[in-house]
Structure 1
Amino acid sequence: MSVHAVMEHAVLSYEIVSISTKKEERMKVKILQSLKGSH
């Protein structure tokens, strides 16, 4: 693999990770809100 290809792969994987963590954060917020609402 060339250096450029490695760089592109790193950027792609970073973007995927950041997207998935944002989704998880939203899910946590929704769960917390539903727990607060049920009390």
Structure 2
Amino acid sequence: MSVNGYCGILIFIKRLSSERSQRIMKRGKEKEFLWKKEKELY
């Protein structure tokens, strides 16, 4: 395997993990928002 191909895979994995973590953060914020709204209703 060439060094260039290896670097490409590393960059791809980094991009995937950062996208996933951003999505998880977003989902966490949405849950927090819904939870606060529920607290206001009761």
Same fold (TM over 0.5): yes
- Which amino acid is 2:17 matched to? Y
Aligned residues between the structures:
39
Match for residue 37 of structure 1 among 32, 35, 40: 40
- CA RMSD of the aligned region, Å? 1.2
Of residues 23, 28, 34, the one that matches 1:25 is: 28
- Name the counterpart of 1:7: 10
- Give the structure-2-normalised TM-score: 0.87
* The structure with more radius of gyration: 2
Aligned equivalents of 1:30 and 1:8: distance in 2? 33
Identity of aligned residues (%): 10
Structure 1 runs of 4+ aligned residues shifted over 4 Å read: none
Instruction: Tell me the TM-score normalised to structure 1 length.
Output: 0.93
